[in-house]
Chains A and B, each alone.
Chain A
Amino acid sequence: MLPSRTVAQTDLEYQVKAAFLLNFAKFVEWPSNAFADSDSPVAICILGKDPFGRAIDDLVQGEQANGRKLIVRRMNELPTPRACQVVFAEGSTKDVAKTLNGLGRSVLTVGEGGSFLRDGGIIAFVIENRRVRFDINQTAAETAALKLSSKLLSVARSIEK
Chain B
Amino acid sequence: MSKRLRLMWLFVLLLPAARGDDPQQATPDQTGPAALKNLSLEELSQIEVTSPSKEPTPAFRSPVAIYVITGDDIRRSGVTTIPDALRLAPGVEVAQIDGSKWAIGIRGFGTRLSRSVLVLIDGRTVYTPLFAGTYWEVQDTLLEDIDRIEVIRGPGGTIWGPNAVDGVINIITKSTQDTKGVFASTGGGNVKQGFFNFRYGGGGDGGDGPTYRVYAKGFTRGPEDHPDGNNFDDWRGIQSGFRIDWPGGSRDAFTLQGDAYQQEDGEQVTATTYTPPATQNVVGNEELSGANLLFKWKRTLSEGNDFQLQTYYDRTNRLEPNLGEDRDTGDIDVLARTKWGTRQELLYGAGARVSNGRFDEVVSGLVFSPLHRTDYLISGFLEDDINLVTGKLMLTLGSKLLRTNYTGVNFEPSARLMWTPNDKQTFWASFTHALRTPSDGEDDFYLSSFIGDAPNGTPTFARFNANPNFAPEQLNAYEVGYRQLIGKNLYLDVAGFFNHYHDLFSEDITGGFSIQSTLPYPAPAPPPTYLLLPAQFQNDLYGATYGGEIAPEWRPTKFWRLRGSYSFLRISLKQAPTTEIAIGPASDNGSSPQHQASFDSSFDIAKKLQLDLIYRYVSALPAQGVRAYSTGDARIGYQFSKYVGFSLVGQNLFQPDHVEYIGDPGGPVFIQRSVYASLYLVKK
Contact = CB atoms under 8 A, between A and B. Distances in A.
A94 interface: no
A127 B49 contact: yes
Given A2-B349, A3-B159, A130 B394 contact: no
B44 A132 contact: yes
A53 interface: yes
A22 B55 contact: no
A1 B178 contact: no
B62 A155 contact: no
Given A4-B383, A4-B396, A130-B50, A9 B57 contact: yes
A89 to B, nearest CB: 14
A15 B160 contact: no
B625 interface: no
B120 interface: yes
A81 to B, nearest CB: 30
Interface string B316-355: 0000000000000000010101000000010101010000
B33 A7 contact: no
Interface in A59-110: 59, 63, 91-92
A1 B335 contact: yes
A8 to B, nearest CB: 4
Interface residues of A, number: 39
A52 to B, nearest CB: 10
B456 interface: no
B49 A155 contact: no
A129 B420 contact: no
Contact of A3 (B37, B51, B418): B51
A148 interface: no
A74 B351 CA distance: 46
A13 interface: yes
Given A8-B59, A129-B175, A132-B47, A2 B160 contact: yes
A12 B26 CA distance: 13
Contact of B45 (A8, A92, A131): A131
Interface residues of B, number: 63
A4 B61 contact: no
Interface in B483-506: none
A155 B45 contact: yes
A19 interface: yes
B44 A4 contact: no
Contacts of A155: 41-42, 45
A63 B38 CA distance: 12
B62 A4 contact: yes
Nearest to B32: A15
B12 to A, nearest CB: 35
A28 interface: no
Nearest to B36: A19
A11 B347 CA distance: 20
Residue in B42, B57, B120, B303 whose Cβ sees the most chain A Cβ within 10 Å: B57
A3 B56 contact: yes
B637 interface: no
B34 interface: yes
B39 interface: yes
A147 to B, nearest CB: 17
Given A1-B54, A23-B44, A114-B250, A130 B159 contact: no
B177 A129 contact: yes
B49 A130 contact: yes
Contacts of A20: 41, 44
Contact of A6 (B28, B36, B62, B175): B62
Given A3-B159, A132-B47, A18 B33 contact: yes
A20 B420 CA distance: 25
Nearest to A91: B303
Given A3-B159, A16-B36, A132-B49, A92 B303 contact: yes
B394 A6 contact: yes
A130 B45 contact: no
Interface of A: 1-9, 11-13, 15-16, 18-20, 22-23, 27, 53, 55, 58-59, 63, 91-92, 113-114, 127, 129-133, 151-152, 155, 158
Nearest 5 interchain pairs by C-beta = A8-B61, A58-B33, A13-B49, A2-B159, A19-B36
